[in-house]
Structure 1
């Protein structure tokens, strides 16, 4: 007998293999060939040998089949016996190769939207089947997750959203003390919320991490008896036993009760037995004495099961290992490798007490920081339902010439980057006068230290796009949560654009920040500039003064720079001019790229008291205030060079008047050169491709704006 211990299970599976019998037959066969025999005896022996050879072939085939079974057992984890905390391999139900698995989550707000991504990563990492996620969301989570999945473009993954506001009336009558609020009751409404033709679904809390293929959990539906409609794991705390503290009175439950962080819902059967009416009557009756729920939907599920125990299918507890301080989760497993699902259901989350908490924490952090781009893998052998976006992308890729010297630049322009909008809590209340201005900027990890200073200089709304890896995004999160300045600013929208490719897609990142500004006007800045104190209020007044609501204007904020890391920031224009005269400050890039800001006419600005108009000139790239619906940045320009220049050209082509503000300024703070400027300086190929892209941009501008755009091409050639 061979014994196989299947990965992720707590049981050995024994399979009999008749190797001993095969060995005996071979030994007899070999011994028969070593003795001289008479003709009759030899004939008999030959016949016997033929029989033995036939038997040997049968044994070989039998052993081949057994080896195949063994390999299958080693490759797939078996399913547990009902109610047991170990698995029995021979009775393992299976899932068809391309069977679609449905998963539902209730997700509301910024924090839950961030948490659910880690859950999704852990599912995608292990999965071998197509998936359909069903999200019951508020408006915030809908915006975040729809944008994320659309840009993630994971093959064989469908996503549907359902408006939680439409379901609130179903549960708003239930008094609930749980911190999840009304959303903690939404799982009760899934038979109504989800499509009527959906027969079964796995329902998960957002604080779940999978350590195995979700198909194993889906397969347990096949073990339900005809009457069972809900699959749940027993509660691992003493909550429902009522002995946690004096006068503790929980809702009624069957024994220890059940935890609703992981639920198998047989929707078709639930609808058939009248689930909606049954849970309502149960809740109404119990609320007469209990007055409110303490654990939201879990209380109602438990009292329903206590009254109808035949309807529940108890799952082994490793399908929902509950990590809170008062649980018996360690009794669920003998080895941590046996675990299937980890549930961080303590308010303490990763700081919970458990002797294996480091193992659990590391598993969670693995998925938290895992590169989501690696999860865009195809499911080979399963039909792929391509979206219009993926078809478009494939078509664009096929049109590229891989022998083109600038192929990498052109490919970057059509690369789809994952985008996670509003990564942190965001609150914005519009002003009533339609003059509000959002500071728009982009940054990467090496400019993170600028955020606190900008927040001190600009009190208005900010839209920031951060170009980061998954791991860097988590570092940023910890940085922001530890900063008193950033924690107290809720009107800053942080949007993560995840790294992919070899270039910094600077204009794509800028566009993400621009699209997600929520005010009528935007101040298009860079994160390494500090605005003057009071600039926010000054710009709002200028918007009214220059009638920007009814005219096409771009307000230029003059740019200066310092080479000092410690600067006593000027509090007025007069103080800035004094520092300019002393050599503490300079006009921006006057010594390396004068023409970038020369048209601002700093000499005139020194004495100006009213806004003045300037004309476009070659390579002009000022920082401007415009309406939010201005042209976007051209995404062909990546890394260093011409990313802002091209944008100002298009504003000019659309006949925006460039107006310099006489009492506004911003100061560039010193920092090390970026990686992209180093590549530009050291690589002739980089410079050649940038020049090629410039020429193509000019041609596109001429096609778009006709004869009016010819001046740009002429001006460029006259340099």
Structure 2
């Protein structure tokens, strides 16, 4: 073994550069292609390889802070090797793909293929089988990879990782490097009968390892560790410890007392909330080679006219936002009857207070996309972990879309939530609406009744609103009608935007007992239940205006029948106006550009659907 440094804690550091996944058909592991790719044919700086075992939602979130700290300090191209389960693979592959950092390669290896290598070892540590997978890296990683730095996901770097990589030069015949555990806890003399483990002294911490893979393979490492484990288990019976010093995998550990802990705590908290967009920078002196995706994006940018009054709107459409799927633990089992429905919505920080109420009103699965900064995402995490309602709901998928640009990309955010719904049907809603109690079961029955499996239908849930912040929520349609008559509730936006929901025909709905079909009308924007394979939202519409209208128009163009449900309703809860609607109301330029985008959307719709789409243009001109 070789001592890496005299570190007191399990924290390190580095900088950021490029994200890139390749396709390698002759290997078992998967390498995915990333939009801004980098290759390193002539660079003068050395490519550094980093390996992590990462499984589950929490580890996938932790590893982002590690990566940020590495990228912040680094001056070298990097290649991350992630041994992942299916959950972490899905999360991290899209995260790196959308992060688009130059001079960073990312490869994924299937942890399931390695489980049999270590599953025979009895293990009591909370990390389970994944804590033992570092033993298999000589087999899991590519055979032509000679050296790698192995890191736990909950580490934070405080300097350039190249300093660690340089220590390989001192490996005169050595195979790997470790640091001794620093805590006296490992000595086993803190109290009577304190016996943490049978090793001599403190033992070594495997949160940071320098592995000389080539030499380990040469001495038969795989057979060596197996024989050693079998021998030790005869007396130990099971493994119980992983590498414990100070790491931030628990909120309690932020309150630990140690003379160095203030420095490391602040370092960790800094990178936790650090804006990852700032790490999308080129490395000086490190040439990069653009991929087809980066060329496409660059071409799209060059086509824009900077003198165009609506340049900022058009540029927003080609902005790539970082996306972190399943930011919190998610557990959902698809029902067998093929009628399940996911409520799909988007929100930002100012609508966070709606989440608990929605969870109380809708017991089915939910897919939420949250448009937030890195710092706001951490505020949301603390909010969710402190909420008894939210922390006990595991069938809610929270997907972070990180802020970038000057507009709220509302339809892009909606599409992230829509793409990650995993039920046959979706209820496309807004987060400031509360569904009626029992709506989830009612909609599932309606799916069967209206034979949605074999017909293109959009089931409309009539929308109402209240101006009262405290409302005794109606428990039935009869109670809602009574509140309408008393003036406690109103049909949605009747006093400001009647056209948005007029086709619902609220007068007919009052007495209807069976679903009825309505025809599309200009500016109709109801909330609907459709099959998951419905058209996505048009991402040219950002901020306020026409984001839902254009979607309903395309549903109609694809000949979806709009069916009003007679015993369904949802109620809009009051809130302060959004920043985007304020801009729309106060800026003539904003309104001009929205009209320009509408006209272009109509033209695109006509090209896509032919003569059948001419009615939309006619309807617009008649307004």
Q: TM-score, normalised by structure 2?
A: 0.91
Tell me, yes or no, if structure 1 residue 700 matches structure 2 residue 599.
no
> Shift of residue 385 of structure 1?
3.5
**Which protein is richer in helix relative to its size?**
1
Structure 1's 249 and 362: CA in aligned 2 closer, same or farther, altered over 3 A? closer
Q: CA contact under 8 A between 1:156 and 1:385: conserved in structure 2?
A: no
Spell out the pairing of 1:462-501 with structure 2 (5 A cutoff): 462-501=366-405
Matched, 1:174 2:137: no
How much does 1:394 deviate?
A: 1.4
Is the CA contact (8 Å cut-off) linking 1:153 and 1:390 kept in structure 2?
no
Cα deviation 1:294-351 (Å, max 9, x = unaligned): 12589xxxxxxxxxxxxxxxxxxxxxxxxxxxxxxxxxxxxxxxxxx97447884212
Following superposition, the deviation at residue 62 of structure 1 comes to 55
1:235 CA displacement:
1.2
CA contact (8 A) 2:369 2:401 kept: yes
Give the 3-state SS of the residue equivalent to 2:123 in structure 1: coil
CA positional deviation for 1:357: 2.5
Q: Give a deviation string over 1:493-551, Cα, whole Å, max 9, x none.
A: 00000000000000000000000001000000000000000000000000000000000
Equivalent position to 1:612, from 467, 491, 516: 516
Q: CA deviation at 1:253?
A: 3.8
Q: Which SS does the other structure have where 2:301 is aligned?
A: helix
Q: Specify which structure has the bigger relative contact order, considering alpha-carbon pairs within 8 angstroms and separated by 6 or more residues.
A: 2
SS at match of 1:74: coil
Q: In structure 2, do the counterparts of structure 1 residues 63 and 280 end up closer, same or farther at CA, with 3 Å as the change threshold?
A: closer
- 1:557 and 1:181 map into 2 onto residues whose CA distance is 46
- Cα offset for 1:223? 1.0
Question: Do residues 105 (structure 1) and 52 (structure 2) align?
Answer: yes
Q: Deviations over 1:351-401 (max 9, x none)?
A: 212134332211111100000000000012112143332222112111111
Alignment of 1:43-58 (within 5 A): none
Using the TM superposition, give the Cα deviation of residue 255 of structure 1 relative to its aligned residue in structure 2, in angstroms. Answer: 3.8
Runs of 4+ in 1 over 6 A off after TM superposition: 53-76
Q: Whole-Å Cα distance in 2 between the matches of residues 554 and 631 of structure 1?
A: 12
> Any conservation in 1 of the 2:462–2:565 contact (CA below 8 Å)?
yes
Instruction: Give the stretch that moved more between structures: 241-250 or 56-65.
Output: 56-65
Shift of 1:257: 1.7
CA–CA distance in structure 1, aligned partners of residues 71 and 305 of structure 2: 33
The 1:487–1:710 alpha-carbon spacing in structure 2 relative to 1, beyond 3 Å, is same
SS at match of 1:555: strand
- Asked whether the equivalents of residues 55 and 85 of structure 2 are also in contact (C-alpha less than 8 Å), the reply is yes
Check 1:178–1:244 CA distance in 2 against 1; reply closer, same or farther (3 A cut): farther
Q: Does the 8 A contact of 1:186 with 1:297 survive in 2?
A: no
Q: CA deviation at 1:242?
A: 3.5
1:369 aligns with 2:369: no
**Residues in 1 aligned to 2:22 and 2:527: alpha-carbon distance in whole angstroms:** 81
- Change in Cα spacing, 1:272 to 1:704, as seen in structure 2 (3 Å) is same
Shift of 1:244: 4.4
Equivalent residue number for residue 139 of structure 1: 86
Per-residue Cα deviation, 1:638-685 (whole angstroms, up to 9, x for no partner): 000000000000000000000000000000000000000000011111
Change over 3 Å in CA distance of 1:275–1:662 after alignment to 2: same
**CA shift in 2, pair 1:54/1:679, >3 Å:** closer
Residue 220 of structure 1 deviates from its aligned partner by 0.5
Structure 1 residue 580 displacement after superposition = 0.3
SS of alignment partner, residue 159 of structure 1: strand
Question: Counterparts of 1:281 and 1:243 in 2: how far apart (Å)?
Answer: 30
Q: CA deviation at 1:621?
A: 0.3
Task: Tell whether 2:297 aligns with 1:350.
Answer: no
TM-score for both structures, normalised by structure 1: 0.79
The answer to whether the 8 A contact 2:43-2:285 is kept is no
Match of 1:624, SS?
Answer: strand
Task: Flag the 1:60–1:255 CA change in 2: closer, same or farther, 3 A.
Answer: closer
Whether contact under 8 Å (1:100, 1:129) holds in the other structure is yes
Q: Is contact 2:20–2:37 with CA below 8 Å preserved after alignment?
A: no
Asked if structure 2 preserves the Cα contact closer than 8 Å seen for 1:462 and 1:492, the reply is: yes
Q: Does the 8 A contact of 1:560 with 1:586 survive in 2?
A: yes
C-alpha distance in structure 2 between counterparts of 1:634 and 1:591, whole Å: 27
Cα gap change, 1:103 to 1:70, in 2 (>3 Å): closer
> Contact 1:597–1:621 at 8 Å: present in 2 too?
yes
Pair 1:342–1:125, CA change in 2 (3 A): farther
Q: 1:265 aligns with which of 207, 211, 214?
A: 211
After superposition, the Cα gap between the structure-2 partners of 1:55 and 1:700, relative to the gap in structure 1 and judged at 3 Å, is closer
In 2, Cα distance between the equivalents of 1:142 and 1:435? Answer: 28
Q: How far does the alpha carbon of each residue in 1:94-130 deviate from its partner, in whole angstroms, 9 at most, with x for none?
A: x994210000000111111000000000000000000
Q: Do the aligned partners of 1:202 and 1:218 also contact (CA within 8 Å) in 2?
A: yes
Indicate if the aligned counterparts of 1:198 and 1:267 stay in contact, CA closer than 8 A: yes
How far 1:166 moved relative to its partner?
0.4
613 and 222 in structure 1: CA distance in 2 versus 1, 3 angstrom threshold: same
Closer, same or farther: CA 73–535 of 1 in aligned 2, 3 Å = closer
Cα distance per residue 1:406-455 (max 9 Å; x no partner): 11000000100000000000000111100000000000000000000000
Q: Deviations over 1:49-105 (max 9, x none)?
A: xxxx999999999999999999999999xxxxxxxxxxxxxxxxxx99421000000
- Aligned-residue Cα RMSD (Å) equals 9.0
User: For the structure 1 residues 244 and 390, does the alpha-carbon distance in structure 2 shift closer, same or farther, using more than 3 Å as the test?
Assistant: farther
1:240 to partner: Cα distance:
4.8
Rate the CA distance shift 1:249–1:519 in 2: closer, same or farther, 3 A. same
Contact 1:177 1:296 in 2 (8 A): no
Aligned partner of 1:691 in structure 2 is 595
User: For each residue in 1:568-616, what CA deviation from the matched residue of structure 2 results, as whole angstroms up to 9, or x when unmatched?
Assistant: 0000000000000011100000000000000000000000000000000
Residues 130 and 157 in structure 1, CA contact (< 8 A), matched pair in contact too: yes
Q: Which residue of 2 aligns with 1:42?
A: none
Would the alpha carbon gap of residues 174 and 620 (structure 1) be closer, same or farther in structure 2, given more than 3 Å must change? same
Contact 1:148 1:418 in 2 (8 A): yes
Aligned length: 605
Tell me the secondary structure at the aligned position of residue 75 of structure 1: coil
Q: Unpaired segments of 5 or more residues in structure 2? A: 1-15
1:25 matched residue in structure 2: none
1:218-277 deviation line (CA, Å, top 9, x unaligned): 01100111xx01111111124553434544555554543211010000000000011000
| Cα distance in 2 between the residues matched to 1:156 and 1:476 | 31
Partners of 2:513 and 2:17 lie apart in 1 by 106
Report the equivalent of 2:238: 292
